[in-house]
DNA sequence: GACGGTGGCTAATGCGATTAGCTTCTGAGT
DNA sequence: ACTCAGAAGCTAATCGCATTAGCCACCGTC
């Protein structure tokens, strides 16, 4: 019988498609194997197990998100960069409701690609702050504020936590607008 | 042999203690049964199954959180109320790292207590906004902004998403400070 | 054209969830 | 006190998923 021709990339990407369709908590080796047309234990030739697959999926999704954030940030600064990165962030989460929560998993320190992807995503945030002239210790606080707002809104939206999805675009715009004001005032108000 | 004397309350409260110790994803009927000293199927006399237990846990945790937020908000207004509610919110999540994520589960519409608890928590947020004079449509956006910031920070912190926990208190203070500024400007800048 | 590694398989085990059905405790009513 | 209904617990059985062990066939290399 012919071989399926799998490798880790194919398995992880199929897992990514699966979680976007059925939700992250429904990620199961059995479902991935079924979609790939192989028996469940065959996957062990490519991933160590269910936990390892979830971690690899996190690395993959984080790299995807970091790429899109970087692409959005390049060539922009200030409010322009903020709006572009914020839009890219939310867009990724809406297009990939299963992958997005996976990006919030803490990177496996033993996986250099995963760690690098996480750092790249954070760097996109710092790039936005740089456009506001925020650096050093103040940037740590501002980055956490920005990440919190983006992640909070997007995770609540994807999880359905906002009730009826009425006017979510406007609410997001308002939040980003207030973040813009906060970042513009950041250097003057809260740092020496 | 004597009976264990369980009821749904006891089961749900034990589940709450369990998830705070081992994490929400480790919630298992087997573990709860073991802690309560009964066989696993015995729990079915009190909860419909694993999914139902998770939902009841969500309702329980949401009610707890709503109580603490309401207690923090009562008798305060403006920045005072904001800081008190924000502190209570973060405090709950840190004391209950397993229960807190459960509060983000969408309430079961068929469970009136769960729905009521969720509404109570949201009402605490609106109470804060009221102190800033924000009402009507603008309050919807402001409430989403406030919820996003609080939930985003706290969930990233509890999940370990901020890397080393250095200066998290300061970062939170900074974020709340910028929220205070945003809310004070809310009526003047973004609404008619 | 053999051969070694690799990718796939089947079989077997373990654990958690769930259902069925039995037993025994408890407590309300006489 | 006695009965009895219902509730609360149990064991047994089934199912699905994860994991491990071990077998076998394909494939590229010499």
Q: Residue A73 in contact with residue A127, Cβ under 8 Å?
A: yes
Interchain CB distance below 8 Å, B167 and A140: yes
pLDDT digits (tens, 9 = 90+) for A142-168: 999 999 999 999 999 999 999 888 899
Residue A189's pLDDT is what? 62
Closest nt by CA–C1' to B2: C25
* pLDDT of A98 over the 80 cut: yes
Q: Which of A142, A148, A185, A187 is the mutation pick for testing B, counting most B CBs within 10 A?
A: A148
d(Cα B192, Cα B187) in Å, to the nearest integer?
7
Instruction: Considering only the beta carbons, identify the residue of A141, A161, A179 that sits closest to B170.
Output: A141
Nucleotides of chain C in contact with protein CB (under 7 A) are 6-12, 15-21, 24-26
d(Cα B15, Cα A67) in Å, to the nearest integer?
40
Q: Give the pLDDT band of residue A192 (cuts 50, 70, 90).
A: very low
Q: Which of B149, B162, B186 is the mutation pick for testing A, counting most A CBs within 10 A?
A: B149
> Would the Cβ of B2 be found within 7 angstroms of any atom in strand D?
no
Q: Give the pLDDT band of residue A188 (cuts 50, 70, 90).
A: confident
Query: Could you give the residue ranges of the DSSP H alpha helices within chain A?
Result: 8-22, 29-36, 50-73, 78-95, 99-103, 112-131, 137-158, 168-190
* pLDDT of B68 over the 50 cut: yes
For range A36-42, the mean pLDDT: 98
* pLDDT of B188 over the 80 cut: no
Residue A60's pLDDT is what? 98
Closest nt by CA–C1' to B8: D8
Residues above pLDDT 90, as percent of chain A:
92
Which residue's CA lies closest to nucleotide C26 at its C1' atom? Answer: B3
Any CB–CB contact under 8 A between A129 and chain B?
no
| Confidence (pTM) | 0.95
User: Among A34, A91, A32, A40, which residue's Cα sits nearest to residue A57?
Assistant: A32
User: Which of chain A's residues have a Cβ under 8 Å away from the Cβ of B175?
Assistant: 141, 144-145, 148
User: Among A114, A148, A121, which residue's Cα sits nearest to residue B157?
Assistant: A148
For range A92-101, the mean pLDDT: 98
């Amino acid at each position: 019988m012919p071989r399926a021709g799998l490798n880790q990339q194919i398995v992880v990407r199929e897992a990514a498609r699966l979680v976007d369709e059925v939700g992250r908590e429904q990620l199961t080796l059995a479902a991935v194997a079924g979609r790939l047309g192989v028996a469940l234990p065959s996957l062990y030739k490519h991933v160590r197990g269910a936990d390892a697959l979830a971690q690899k999926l996190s690395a993959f999704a984080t790299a995807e998100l970091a790429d899109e954030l970087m692409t959005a940030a390049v060539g922009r600064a200030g409010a322009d960069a903020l709006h572009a990165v914020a839009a890219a962030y939310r867009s990724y989460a809406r297009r990939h409701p299963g992958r997005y929560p996976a990006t919030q998993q803490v990177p496996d320190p033993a996986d250099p690609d995963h760690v690098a992807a996480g750092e790249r995503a954070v760097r996109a945030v710092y790039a936005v702050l740089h456009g506001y002239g925020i650096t050093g210790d103040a940037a740590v606080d501002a980055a956490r504020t920005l990440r919190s707002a983006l992640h909070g809104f997007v995770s609540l939206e994807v999880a359905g936590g906002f009730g009826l999805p009425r006017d979510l675009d406007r609410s997001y715009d308002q939040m980003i607008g207030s973040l813009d004001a906060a970042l513009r005032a950041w250097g003057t108000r809260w740092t020496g």
